[in-house]
Amino acid sequence: MTHLLEVQDLVVKFGLRSGDLTALNGINFTLNPGERMGLVGESGAGKSVAGFSIINLISRPGFIASGRVLFEGEEISAYPLEQMRGIRGNRISMIFQDPMMTLNPVLTIGTQMVETIQAHNQVSAAHAREIALEKLQKVYISSPGKRLGQYPHELSGGMRQRVVIAISLLTNPSLIIADEPTTALDVTIQAEVMALLLELCKHEHMGLILITHDLGVVSQVTEKIAVMYAGRIVEQGPTTDIVTNPRHPYTKGLIQALPQGGSGRGRLHQIPGMMPNLTSIPPGCAFHPRCEQAMDICRRETPRLFGDAEHSGLVACHLYSQSR
Amino acid sequence: MRLWKQFRGSYFLYSFLHDPVAMGSFIILTLLTLSAFGAPVIAPHDPYDTTTINIMDSEIPPMWMENGDQNFSLGTDAQGRDMLSTMLYGMRISLIIGVGATFLQAVIGIVLGLIAGYKGGKIDNFLMRMADVQLSFSTLMVAIFLSAIFQAIFGVAAFESMAVPFLVLVIGIAEWPQYARTVRASVLAEKKKEYVEAARVMGLPANRIMWRHILPNTMSPILVLSTVQVAHAIMSEAALSFLGLGMPITKPSLGSLINSGFDYIFSGSWWITMFPGFLLVLLILVINLLGDWVQDVLNPKLYKG
Amino acid sequence: MTDSKSLVRISNVVKHFDISGGFLDRISFSGGMPALTTTTVKAINDVSLDIAQGEILSVVGESGCGKSTLGRTVLGLYPPTSGEIAFRGQRIDNLSPKEMLPYRRKMQMVFQDPYASLNPRMTVRQILEEPTHFHFPELSGSQVQDKVAEVMRQVGVDPAWAGRFPHEFSGGQRQRISIARALMVDPEFIVADEPISALDVSIQAQILNLIMDCQERFGLTYMFITHDLSVVEHISTRVAVMYLGTLCELADKKSLYGDPQHPYSRALLSAIPKLGAKGFAHIRLKGEVPTPIHLPTGCVFHTRCPFVEERCRREIPKLLTRPNGSQAACHALEEGQI
């Protein structure tokens, strides 16, 4: 079976006046059809860059320096712009954090949906409208007919995000990339929208890459997780394993820093320091200055992602390679 | 010292050094300003000293043409004054009036804009309506009106000696609404920010918040506006002088020089109008180009903190 | 009843904002006749709360519930439309700016946005010295400088960086500086409006620990405004749940998380993403959040409540004490139906 998505050694750099900055330093992962994956990390880790570069949406000064992205067997990272247009919004859809990045404030919902459909399919406007209505119903929007005539500002934040999800479904894509889709929403609305996304992915057999910093949401929605730090994947594996039994010190620290992470009363466990600026990534393992268990080798050698027979996941940490 | 270091490493300086138009304009503007204010030193003749002016020297063409004179490199005007010297002194007057009027507008406009923006309500309404009224009077109309009255009351001679402050006043008062509106818009945006709320929670008085906290954060739009307004003020003064309402012929600015030479274009002495004309265009052009660059550099959307 | 331990008392506070606009904006046509309409945002609708000395009272709710407005009204940034705010028994909402000055020292605020809450044109030293000079004019220049260095150390920012500008610091450090600014005047009460929402997860833990340390060290009382319920569970003494400007439930932490009473609290708590859970088992609420401009009649929650009945549409429920000690405003609860 061909993987739905294969990212091989992807390196993305930003060309600034002071030199090239490496935002993504060789990431690898695969996704099977209908599989849901979470890309987790804090700001500056490179997870959004990863999401954008899959569909080659990185604009100058960013560029893909090396590596490949294979979608349904085709190397889309090498596609010219015209061909890429046939993939984006068509077979791979993207959902952004701010619905207003997708929705044009001066066009009605209906206009935008019909436009999207007709951009990828030769159908009449009336037929396109029917498809739009059907998708709005799929996302449980009340009175969909009325909504088609409304403008984005007339809808609430949660509804807008649902419309964005509906738009992403219009072309029956095989993969959805969602970049922090519910971070800006209230807790109850977030639960609704994420539950909806989960249901749709299962029902329509779509793959999902969920980019977020929220470990709670990721654990409820995804089947596997990749944890990113300073442009690299430091741990990846099945969601349940990673959440209940994290191995990499950063993942452990993240989970323990959560108020529900089990520190009980009193002080929260905190990871000292901050994620390094991309201009000054420490040598060796990028996490070593903040790691309580750093060893001498961590300062010199960058650990590679590897797995062993006991665990189904991979981890990039000398603690585990030592014990081999 | 820190400030200098900050400046050296800043995007502002970097962008400047990499933008040939900006650097070129800045160099030209500096040269023009230095020559204008160094006029008493570098000008070959003194156009205000009537004893050195000989009517027999009038309308001599520039030195590279036939009938030209080495003494008068760009020729002379209808009264026998050396073009080059008169242009240098004239540019000095244009710059003084341009910068002076802009300064006056800025002071009035910033104060009123700050108060209107911060206080809001009736005060805001009142000040903005006053600004609207001011804007509906064109600068030229006001200048014509006021200068006619002035000359009627005090006589032409008094007008001539007071011409520079008079023009600074007229142009300054005519254009304060530009500053007021810009500053008010900035203040309205800054007022919502949390550091202003923090200052209010701290109990700081309104005046202090306006001047010490908000005003420094409105400097970017003020700077951009100022470059435009200086150019605009110089143009306004030139226009007024061209119409005969500005600088008198005895103390000419570039505009009045252009005016005085106008009648002579068709009789062949084109240089009396053309040279001051070119100089005026060059001056305004470099100010505008520099202003464009400042606007791009300070545009928060184009550059990040 | 006067509670002698109550530091801040909020009594029947109502705050409405008139956003009608100018005269011309308000003209509309209804039934063929021109009429003047007024639009008000009813941000806070009759809220009463006591904050005891030394406690951390968290005010939680989703966007539009009025929690931020409540915090600002308590500090006098907005005058209440009606109702009273009292500090140590002294009414403060009707004082002149001059009379308010000594209270300003005692009541401070930490804001949500680390980028907008510090003046970009002032150095950290200026930001921290200004309130000190203002409230303690008797201190000499060097005494103030010493204090600045000491407070910076307490919040974990190197005093050597006092000459830098805010944009040179990270989000977490800026938030520490904001906290330092509040601490410079030796306050007793701090309103923290979503102080960690804009920060990364690992930094959130640091700042939260700092806030708790300061409470212990300086005996501070907090009104902690947030939408993050897991944070609330960790640090609060008591929790107030708000919806559309109304207090739904007021309970101590254990009671709220162990035995939530009000239907909205129950739905809110069920929606918290849980580490290790699979899928979604949250209580589903019908409909969308109404806007505070057109407040539902009776109980503001009735349009979305799974237990709604006729009485809820007509009558605003009162805050009543429940068997477990919590206070909740719900008719169904009162009638013993849920």
- Per the model's pLDDT, the better-predicted residue between B207 and B159 turns out to be B207
Q: Looking at the domain assignment, is residue B287 inside a domain? A: yes
Q: Decide if pLDDT at B304 tops 50.
A: no
Any CB–CB contact under 8 A between A257 and chain C? yes
Average per-residue pLDDT for chain C: 90
Of B200, B205, B213, the CB nearest to C119: B213
In chain A, residues with a C-beta closer than 8 Å to the C-beta of C276 are: 219, 240, 243-244
The residue assigned the tokens 């992807």 is A10
The mean per-residue pLDDT over the stretch A246-271 comes to: 78
In angstroms, rounded to a whole number, what is the distance separating the alpha carbons of residues C195 and B198?
13
Distances (CA, A) of C141 to C126, C144, C163, C183: 12, 5, 16, 18
Q: Which residue of A has its CA nearest to C171?
A: A274
Cα distances (angstroms) measured from residue A34 to each of A198, A203, A205, A254, B28: 11, 9, 5, 28, 65
Q: Does C95 touch chain B (CB under 8 A)?
A: no
Among residues of chain A, what percentage have pLDDT more than 90?
33
Torsion of CA B3, B8, B9, B15, to 10 degrees: 120
Q: Given this model, what pLDDT does residue C288 score?
A: 77
Q: Which residues pair with A226 in a beta bridge?
A: A39, A236
Average pLDDT of chain B is 85
Q: Residue C207: pLDDT above 80?
A: yes
Q: What confidence tier does C293 reach under pLDDT thresholds 50, 70, 90? A: confident
For C288, nearest residue in chain A (alpha carbons): A156
pLDDT of residue C2: 46
C117 touching B (Cβ < 8 Å) = yes
Q: Report yes or no on B199 lying in a domain.
A: yes
Render pLDDT for B196-229 as a digit per residue (tens, 0 to 9). 999 999 999 999 999 999 999 998 889 889 988 9
Cβ of residue A265 closer than 8 Å to a chain C Cβ? yes
Question: Would you state the pLDDT for residue B303?
Answer: 44
pLDDT at C286: 78
Of all residues in chain C, the one with the smallest CA distance to B202 is C104
In whole angstroms, how far apart are CA B162 and each of B159, B246, B248? 5, 11, 10
Any CB–CB contact under 8 A between B1 and chain C?
no
Cβ atoms within 10 Å of C26's Cβ, excluding its own: 13
Above 0.90 for ipTM, yes or no?
A: no
pLDDT tens per residue across span A199-234: 999 998 999 999 998 888 899 999 999 999 999 999
Question: B142-177 burial, b for 16+ CB within 10 Å, e for fewer?
Answer: ebeebbeebeeeeeeeebbeebbebbbbbbbbbbbb
Residues of A in contact with C229 (CB under 8 A): 187
How much is the pLDDT for C221? 95
Pairwise CB contact (< 8 Å): B195 & C116: yes
B205 in any annotated domain:
yes
* Interface with C, mutate which of B128, B200, B202, B215 (most C CBs under 10 A): B202
The verdict on a CB contact (< 8 Å) between A268 and C234 is: yes
Report, as an integer, the average pLDDT of B16-41: 87
Smallest CA–CA distance from C74 into chain B, residue: B201
- Whole-angstrom distance, CA of residue C233 vs CA of residue C204: 15
Q: Is residue B10 part of a domain?
A: no
Looking at per-residue pLDDT, the higher value among C118 and B49 belongs to C118
Evaluate whether residue B7 is within a structural domain.
no
The whole-angstrom separation of Cα A129 and Cα C6 is 60
Opening angle at CA A262, ends A258 and A267, nearest 5: 70
What is the per-residue pLDDT for C74?
95
B46 domain-assigned: no
Out of B134-138, B301-305, C256-260, least confident range:
B301-305
Provide the shortest C-alpha distance from residue A185 to chain C (in Å). Answer: 9
CB of C116 less than 8 A from some CB of B: yes
B304 part of a folded domain: no
Task: Supply A91's token pair.
Answer: 């077979």
* Nearest residue on chain B to C102, alpha-carbon basis: B203
* Percentage of residues of chain B with pLDDT beyond 90: 31
> What residues of chain C lie within 8 A of the CB of A197, using their CB?
none
- Do residue C62 and residue A188 have CB atoms under 8 angstroms apart? yes
Of the given ranges (A132-146, B7-21, C163-177, C230-244), which has the lowest mean pLDDT?
B7-21
> Do residue C75 and residue B205 have CB atoms under 8 angstroms apart?
no
Nearest by CB to C111, which of B194, B204, B305? B194
How confident is residue B9, by pLDDT bands cut at 50, 70 and 90?
low
**Interchain CB contacts (distance < 8 Å): B and C:** 59
What's the mean pLDDT in B56-80? Answer: 79
Distances (CA, A) of C328 to C71, C219, C338: 21, 29, 12
Using a CB-CB distance cutoff of 8 angstroms, which residues of chain C are in contact with residue B2? 163
pLDDT digits (tens, 9 = 90+) for C319-336: 999 998 899 999 998 888
Please list every residue in chain C whose beta carbon sits closer than 8 Å to the beta carbon of residue A213: 200-201
Per-residue pLDDT, averaged over A21-34, amounts to: 91
Name the strands in the sheet holding C6-18, side by side, starting at the edge strand that comes first in the sequence: C40-52, C6-18, C82-87, C90-91
pLDDT in tens, C165-194: 898 898 899 999 999 999 999 999 999 999
C174 has a chain B CB within 8 A of its CB: no
* DSSP state, residue C290: P
- Structural domains counted in chain B: 1
Q: Which of A253-267, C10-24, C238-252 has the highest mean pLDDT?
A: C238-252
Residues of C in contact with A191 (CB under 8 A): 270-271, 273, 280, 282
Residue ranges of alpha helices (H) inside C136-227 are: 141-155, 171-183, 201-218
pLDDT at A324 > cutoff 50: no
CATH of the domain at B206: 1.10.3720.10
CA distance C64 to chain B (A): 18
Q: Do A142 and C289 lie within an 8 Å CB cutoff?
A: no
Q: pLDDT-based confidence at C287, cuts 50/70/90?
A: confident
Amino acid at site A41: G
- pTM (2 decimals)? 0.84
Instruction: Say what the pLDDT of residue B305 is.
Output: 36
- For residue A180 the two structure tokens come to 């922090």
In angstroms, the CA C269 to CA C232 distance is 11
CA distance A109 to A117: 12
Q: Which residues of B touch C100 (CB under 8 A)?
A: 203
Residue range C86-115: average pLDDT? 92
pLDDT in tens, C131-152: 999 999 999 999 999 999 999 9
Question: What is the distance in angstroms between the Cα of C75 and the nearest Cα belonging to chain B?
Answer: 7
Beta bridge partners of C57: C223, C238
Is B245 part of a structural domain of the chain? yes
Task: Check residue B210 and give its pLDDT.
Answer: 92
Q: Is C112 within 8 Å of B213 when comparing Cβ atoms?
A: no
| Amino acid B135: pLDDT | 87
Q: Which domain holds residue B192?
A: 17-38+57-298
Q: Which residue has the tokens 């009605």?
A: A108
Chains that touch C (3 or more CB pairs under 8 A): A, B
Cβ atoms within 10 Å, residue C157: 22
Select the residue of C63, C203, C231 nearest A259 (Cβ to Cβ): C231
CA distance A316 to A298: 11
Distance from CA of A292 to the nearest CA of C (A): 15
Identify which of A220, A254, A267 has the shortest CB distance to residue C279.
A220
Band of the pLDDT at C10, cuts 50, 70, 90? very high
Best residue in C92, C121, C177 for a mutation probing chain B (most B CBs within 10 Å): C121
Task: For residue A243, give the nearest of C204, C276, C279 by CB distance.
Answer: C276
Residue in this structure with the two tokens 């100010």, named with its chain if needed: B287
